[in-house]
């Protein structure tokens, strides 16, 4: 099979990029051909399947006010993408981005008679609400339904997302396929991690991986940390990812925890995965996740999890593998209790590793994807 994928945020450091890379790895290893079309972010080709095409700098400037400088395709990208399509002759068009207005790849997909698939990665309705209130939320719900309506099939990364799409009156077939996670065998030791990021040797490390933006609920983690350090000041919150770092540094200062917070900014994905191994707890509060990749990465590394409950919690970090809290005060209590209880940490570590092996592998993801694709191709013949 030949598949052409597109995301407007590829190859920025985010969950969608990670998901696409893992997906491409699995499909190529299984003998299929893949092309990834995305706006040009000045990175060049980050892998052989990646084709950056002309992007709009105007859109980058505009989205810096309401995001992280994501780019749209420029008008010139029409010819660029059409040339790739003519040469590649894809069997399947696969969209990985829903945005406030149609982008060029979406328009070209709509005009094609080939199989069309959407993976609904991102809770864009939440983002619409955060930045533009209830009107923004409703617009993104309408856009989600509109884009899904163009497709032969929709992939949801969780049953929670499937339920939302059904609530929004999406009528297309929906298949739930969590993004697979590559198994890693080792990473940084505790001493290596602390040395690299200048963390005091005696401190416990609470690790958060992801974009440092409002929709990831970083503020809730900082407020929780402020409660934790009142009882145990020997704790460092290591925040790994790009975003609005200056805003959150000011917030940490206002809470009096600036000496307990280290922010790395953007790091390569391989580097981020090494960090799980040297931390003491995975610390998370986002309410906007559509899937549990960072939780799977933590479980793979044997890192116990302390997190606020969220819509995806029952699927991706059930209470059997994580210390789950409903409030910030309860989360602070879980953190303090786990740091003082090695036996409980070992229990969560073992349960999480088993869940990772059984449910969250790349092999399982690729198998489910190919079952879906083969069925669609067979139906179209």
CATH number of the structural domain spanning residue 176: 3.40.50.2000
Would residue 17 count as lying in a domain? yes
Residue 60: what pLDDT? 52
What is the distance, to the nearest Å, from the Cα of residue 153 to the centroid of all Cα atoms in its chain? Answer: 21
Query: Based on the domain organization, do 197 and 139 belong to the same domain?
Result: no
- Cβ neighbours of 91 (radius 10 Å): 17
The span from the CA of 144 to the CA of 125, in Å, is: 8
Residue 361 DSSP label: B
Which DSSP helix (H) or strand (E) runs through 306? Answer: strand 305-308
Q: List the chain residues with pLDDT less than 50.
A: 59, 61-66, 381
Residue 65: what pLDDT? 45
Query: Based on the domain organization, do 233 and 148 belong to the same domain?
Result: no
User: What three-state secondary structure class fits 238?
Assistant: strand
Would residue 308 count as lying in a domain? yes
Query: Based on the domain organization, do 163 and 218 belong to the same domain?
Result: no
Determine how β-strand 92-95 pairs with β-strand 2-6. Answer: parallel
What order of strands is seen across the sheet that includes strand 235-240? 261-263, 235-240, 204-209, 281-284, 305-308, 322-325
Residue 359: what pLDDT? 81
What is the distance, to the nearest Å, from the Cα of residue 138 to the centroid of all Cα atoms in its chain? Answer: 23
Would residue 254 count as lying in a domain? yes
Cβ(251)–Cβ(272) below 8 Å? no
**Token digits for 356?**
């990772």
How big is the CA angle at 27 (ends 48 and 292), to the nearest 5 degrees? Answer: 100
Query: Based on the domain organization, do 159 and 256 belong to the same domain?
Result: no
Q: 11: cis peptide before it, omega within 30°?
A: yes
Whole-model pTM? Answer: 0.71
Structural domain range at position 309:
190-359
Cβ(100)–Cβ(125) below 8 Å? no
How big is the CA angle at 371 (ends 366 and 376), to the nearest 5 degrees? Answer: 125
Q: What percent of the chain clears pLDDT 70, i.e. is strictly above it?
A: 96
Query: Based on the domain organization, do 27 and 126 belong to the same domain?
Result: yes
Cβ(270)–Cβ(249) below 8 Å? no
Would residue 185 count as lying in a domain? no
The span from the CA of 280 to the CA of 205, in Å, is: 5
Alpha helices in the chain (DSSP H): 15-29, 57-63, 77-88, 104-111, 124-148, 159-167, 190-196, 218-231, 245-255, 269-275, 293-300, 313-316, 328-339, 342-359, 362-380
- Cβ neighbours of 335 (radius 10 Å): 25
Residue 125: what pLDDT? 79
Q: 55: cis peptide before it, omega within 30°?
A: no
Query: Based on the domain organization, do 117 and 260 belong to the same domain?
Result: no
Query: Based on the domain organization, do 163 and 15 belong to the same domain?
Result: yes
The span from the CA of 24 to the CA of 3, in Å, is: 10
Query: Based on the domain organization, do 291 and 142 belong to the same domain?
Result: no
How many domains in the chain?
Answer: 2
- Cβ neighbours of 268 (radius 10 Å): 9
Cβ(156)–Cβ(165) below 8 Å? yes
The span from the CA of 54 to the CA of 41, in Å, is: 9
Residue 379: what pLDDT? 73
Query: Based on the domain organization, do 109 and 47 belong to the same domain?
Result: yes
Polymer length of the chain: 381
Cβ(225)–Cβ(260) below 8 Å? yes
**Half-sphere exposure for 242 (CA within 13 Å, toward CB):** 12
Phi, psi of 153 (to 5 degrees): -160, 150
């Amino acid at each position: 099979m030949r598949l052409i994928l597109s995301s407007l945020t590829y190859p920025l450091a985010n969950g969608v990029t990670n998901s696409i890379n893992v997906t491409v790895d699995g499909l190529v290893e299984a003998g299929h051909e893949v092309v990834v079309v995305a706006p040009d972010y000045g990175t060049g080709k980050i892998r052989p399947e990646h084709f950056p095409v002309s992007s709009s700098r105007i859109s980058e400037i505009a989205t810096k006010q309401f995001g992280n400088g994501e780019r749209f395709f420029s008008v010139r990208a029409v010819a660029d993408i059409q040339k790739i399509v003519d040469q590649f002759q894809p069997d399947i068009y696969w969209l990985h981005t829903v945005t406030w207005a149609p982008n060029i790849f979406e328009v070209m997909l709509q005009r094609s008679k080939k199989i069309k698939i959407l993976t609904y990665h991102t809770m864009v309705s939440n983002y619409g609400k955060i930045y533009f209130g209830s009107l923004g939320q409703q617009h993104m719900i309408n856009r989600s339904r509109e884009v899904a309506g163009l497709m032969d099939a929709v992939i949801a990364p969780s049953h929670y997302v499937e339920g939302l799409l059904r609530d929004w009156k999406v009528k297309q077939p929906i298949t739930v396929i969590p993004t697979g996670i590559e198994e890693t065998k080792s990473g940084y030791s505790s001493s290596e991690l602390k040395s690299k990021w200048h963390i005091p040797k005696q401190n416990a490390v609470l690790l958060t991986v992801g974009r440092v933006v409002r929709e990831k609920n970083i503020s809730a983690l900082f407020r929780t940390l402020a409660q934790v350090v009142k009882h145990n000041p020997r704790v460092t919150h290591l925040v790994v990812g790009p975003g609005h770092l200056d805003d959150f540094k000011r917030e940490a200062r206002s809470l009096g925890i600036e000496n307990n917070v280290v922010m790395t900014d953007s790091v390569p994905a391989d580097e981020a995965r090494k960090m799980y191994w040297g931390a003491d707890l995975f610390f998370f509060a986002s309410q906007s996740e559509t899937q549990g990749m960072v939780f799977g990465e933590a479980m793979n590394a044997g890192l116990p999890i302390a997190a606020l409950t969220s819509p995806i919690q029952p699927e991706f970090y059930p209470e059997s593998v994580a210390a789950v809290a409903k409030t910030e005060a309860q989360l602070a209590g879980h953190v303090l209790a786990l740091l003082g209880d090695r036996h409980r940490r070992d229990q969560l570590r073992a349960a999480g590793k088993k869940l990772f092996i059984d449910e969250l592998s790349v092999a399982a993801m690729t198998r489910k994807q190919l079952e879906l694709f083969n069925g669609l191709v067979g139906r179209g013949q």
